[in-house]
Amino acid sequence: MKRVRYKRGSVVYDQRRKVWNFLYCLDHSRHTIRIGSKAEYPTKASAWAAAEALRQSAKAPNLLGNAITVKTLVEQYRAERMPERHSTRLAYEAWFNNHIIPRWGESLIISLQARDVGLWLRPLPLSPKSKAHIRGLLHALLDYAMWRGHVTAQRNVMELVSIRGATKRTRQPRSLTVEEFQKFVRHLDEPFNVIALVSVCFGLRISETLGLRWADIDRTNNSLRIERGIVRQVVASTKTDCSQQTMSIDAAMLNVLNSWRQTSQFSADSDWMFASPVKLGRLPWSYPWVWRVFQRAAEAAGVGKLGTHTMRHSYRSWLDAVGTSLAVQQKLMRHSDIRTTMNIYGHVITDEMAKAASKVAGLALASIN
């Protein structure tokens, strides 16, 4: 068996990139591992202390045998493991290109350590949820590296990286009262008022609303099939399997849709329900366009800022207001887990809270009169 020779290596400061690097030789090949920035390791001695752990890991052939850079691993991951859903792929590419590759691309995969990743994530100007997404993607990369045999199967070090506040929202979701929605929808022209009505009456995501075709309406059974979504003008499946569902259409809502179909120049069964004249009907109105129209209408109505997902949150709040059981709400929201219905969409922004508080106060005050 060929004897493996090691050198102590050296720590070098890269003036151009402003980082410390650990250089060493293994089997007559030169290797470089990024240690960290000047802010993390202000002196060469501190950089050497960090490099010592890397030097020790270089003495384990089973760890280093197939070592590759993070950038190379990302390319392999893109080819073999990237999710098929378009919106998810876009998010992954954003994390890769804007954060992971610029910081860790030239580092060997074996050099990723929990402490270094944690210190890097902490000052990033991102929400805790976004930092948790980046950590999760690094976790997936390391699992993939073990699956390919680049590193030995072991505990994933990304499990040791904690993100404070990752489960908390930086902004609370917005719901509209019935009165606010009525003010808002009055400032919308067709078809955007119909888009808002469909979204709030069925609790649809905007991608699902824009993905509707006229053929999805079953007039015999007064139902609407939710089968697809459109993200960045790319037709895809719904977010989850549970999201694909057939929903009942109220007679009044069916009249609204029939009226819009008679007005629309794209009314064939195969046409998009909200086809864009700009795209000659080949695609529906884009999400950014709908969002801008909603913003202008909300400002004109004086109801404050809102997003397209506000319609879905409002739907959940109104289900509460009319006394719908949680089990039925889960089905109508098309959630696979009832905890999502309760925790993420569990806020009530109607006047029911005020009415309930008044009833309690009335009982208390009656006792002293």
Segments forming the whole domain that contains residue 301: 178-352
Residues 148 and 229 in one domain: no
In this predicted structure, what is the pLDDT of residue 245?
83
pLDDT for 269 beyond 80: yes
The CATH number assigned to the domain holding 117 equals 1.10.150.130
pLDDT for 21 beyond 70: yes
Residues 106 and 210 in one domain: no
Please report, as a single letter, which amino acid is at residue 51: A
In this predicted structure, what is the pLDDT of residue 82?
92
CA 120 to chain centre: 21
- Find out whether 220 and 238 touch, Cβ atoms under 8 Å: no
Least confident of 246-260, 308-322, 355-369: 355-369
How far is residue 289's CA from residue 279's CA, in Å, rounded to a whole number? 13
Burial code (b: 16+ CB inside 10 Å, e: under 16) for 65-92 equals eebbbbbebbeebeeeeeeebbbebeeb
pLDDT for 309 beyond 50: yes
| 321 in any annotated domain | yes
Residues 285 and 138 in one domain: no
Q: Angle at CA 176, nearest 5°, toward 172 and 180?
A: 140
CA-CA distances (angstroms) from residue 231 to 74, 308, 340? Answer: 24, 13, 22
Q: Name the pLDDT band for 177 (thresholds 50, 70, 90).
A: confident
Residues 276 and 329 in one domain: yes
Q: Give the residue, 93 or 155, on which the prediction is more confident.
A: 93
pLDDT for 3 beyond 50: no
Least confident of 31-35, 118-122, 249-253, 296-300: 31-35
In this predicted structure, what is the pLDDT of residue 345?
58
pLDDT for 364 beyond 50: no
Residues 264 and 156 in one domain: no
Residues 149 and 188 in one domain: no
Least confident of 5-9, 14-18, 82-86, 245-249: 5-9
How far is residue 196's CA from residue 190's CA, in Å, rounded to a whole number? 10
The CATH number assigned to the domain holding 299 equals 1.10.443.10
pLDDT for 275 beyond 90: yes
Question: What is the per-residue pLDDT across 319-359, written as a single tens digit (0 to 9) for each?
Answer: 887 777 777 777 778 776 666 655 555 554 445 545 555 55
Residues 203 and 336 in one domain: yes
Q: Give the residue, 330 or 210, on which the prediction is more confident.
A: 210
Omega of the bond prior to 191 within 30 degrees of 0, cis? yes
Q: Helices 178-185 and 192-202, interaxial angle, to 10°?
A: 160
- Mean pLDDT, the chain, rounded, equals 81
| 71 in any annotated domain | yes
Q: Which of 341, 89, 78 is nearest to 236 (CA)?
A: 89
In this predicted structure, what is the pLDDT of residue 356?
55
Q: Give the residue, 110 or 167, on which the prediction is more confident.
A: 110
Q: Angle at CA 213, nearest 5°, toward 237 and 236?
A: 15
Question: What is the per-residue pLDDT across 81-139, written as a single tens digit (0 to 9) for each?
Answer: 998 888 888 899 999 999 999 999 988 888 888 999 999 999 999 988 899 999 999 99
| 362 in any annotated domain | no
Q: Give the residue, 228 or 236, on which the prediction is more confident.
A: 228
pLDDT for 214 beyond 90: yes
Residues 198 and 305 in one domain: yes
| 293 in any annotated domain | yes
| 99 in any annotated domain | yes
In this predicted structure, what is the pLDDT of residue 110?
80
Q: What is the mean pLDDT of residues 182-207?
A: 91
pTM for this structure? Answer: 0.66
In the chain, pLDDT over 70 holds for what percent of residues?
A: 81
Q: What is the mean pLDDT of residues 70-80?
A: 93
In this predicted structure, what is the pLDDT of residue 153?
82
In this predicted structure, what is the pLDDT of residue 100?
95
| 9 in any annotated domain | no
How far is residue 136's CA from residue 153's CA, in Å, rounded to a whole number? 18
Torsion of CA 315, 319, 320, 322, to 10 degrees: 130
Structurally, how many domains does the chain consist of? 2
Residues 247 and 332 in one domain: yes
Q: What is the mean pLDDT of residues 271-297?
A: 93
- Find out whether 199 and 206 touch, Cβ atoms under 8 Å: yes
Question: Cα dihedral sign for 82, 83, 86, 90?
Answer: negative
- Find out whether 226 and 247 touch, Cβ atoms under 8 Å: yes
| 2 in any annotated domain | no
| 85 in any annotated domain | yes
Among 115, 134, 160, the domain-final residue is 160
Contacts of 267 (CB under 8 A, 6+ apart): 214, 261
Residues 220 and 347 in one domain: yes
How far is residue 301's CA from residue 188's CA, in Å, rounded to a whole number? 10
Residues 83 and 217 in one domain: no
- Find out whether 8 and 25 touch, Cβ atoms under 8 Å: no
Residues 213 and 112 in one domain: no
